[in-house]
Structure 1
Amino acid sequence: MALQSSMSIAPPVPSSGGTIPLALLIEYGLQRTYHELAILSELLPRKTDMDRKIEIFQFASRTRQLFVRLLALVKWANSASKVDKCVDICNFLEQQSMFFVETADSLHKMAKETLASARLPSFSLPSAIDVLTTGTYPRLPACIRERIIPPDPITPQEKAQTLQRLNEVIQYRLVSNELPKQMRRLKIDQGRVKFFVEHEFEVLLCFRSITSMSWHSQGCCMLITLCMICIKCCVSFC
Structure 2
Amino acid sequence: MSRRDYVKTGNLMSLPDSSVEKRKISNDMWKKQVFFHLLNFYKSYNILDILKIINIKKINPQIKVEDEIALFLRNSLKYNRKFGLQGFLIAGGVNNDEEKKGLYDISVFHSDWRNDEGFPVEFHFECKNLNGSQNFVNKYVYYNTYEKDINNENIYDGGVYRYFNGKYAQNMNFGGMIGFVLEGNVTYTKNEIINKLNEKFNTSPNGDIIRVIDDSIEQNNFTFDSYHNRFNSEFVIHHLLFNFS
Is the pair's TM-score, using the shorter chain for normalization, greater than 0.5?
A: no
More strand by share: 2
Greater relative contact order, per chain length (Cα 8 Å cut-off, separation 6+): 2
